[in-house]
Structure 1
Amino acid sequence: MSEQLDKPNAEPNGEVRKITLAEAMKRKLEQKKQASAKTKDLQNGHHTTDVKQMKTQINKKPNNQKRRTGV
């Protein structure tokens, strides 16, 4: 039973069969649903200890209008 879970496109006799496009799309959609469920759990107060990459901090440019106009 665990062999079928590890290889979803493997048949019981050990042969690998080709999957159809519709079947592949269903699997991809299932993966997306599971991924979105994980992110919803994180947003609902469940925190993770993963290290996240910092986003760039966009600094405000100084207003140099006085310098340009000579005031």
Structure 2
Amino acid sequence: METNDQKKTSLADAAKALLAKKKQQQADQKNGQFADKSTKALKSQNNKKPNNQRRRTGGS
């Protein structure tokens, strides 16, 4: 039974370590993304398309 309990605790420790590693990687990625965005040029946000209804329907 002791070996079984020992496996459970080691499995829990392994899961905690894996979760901590995953969180650290996500934090590293977020920091990297923010650094990339800060140097990126801003895009124009004017994306509205002109209304082609007159051309489509033949106009008046």
* TM-score category (smaller protein): 0.3 to 0.5
Q: TM-score, with normalisation over the residues of structure 2?
A: 0.43
More helix by share: 2
When Rg is computed on C-alpha atoms for both structures, the one with the higher figure is 2
Q: TM-score, with normalisation over the residues of structure 1?
A: 0.37
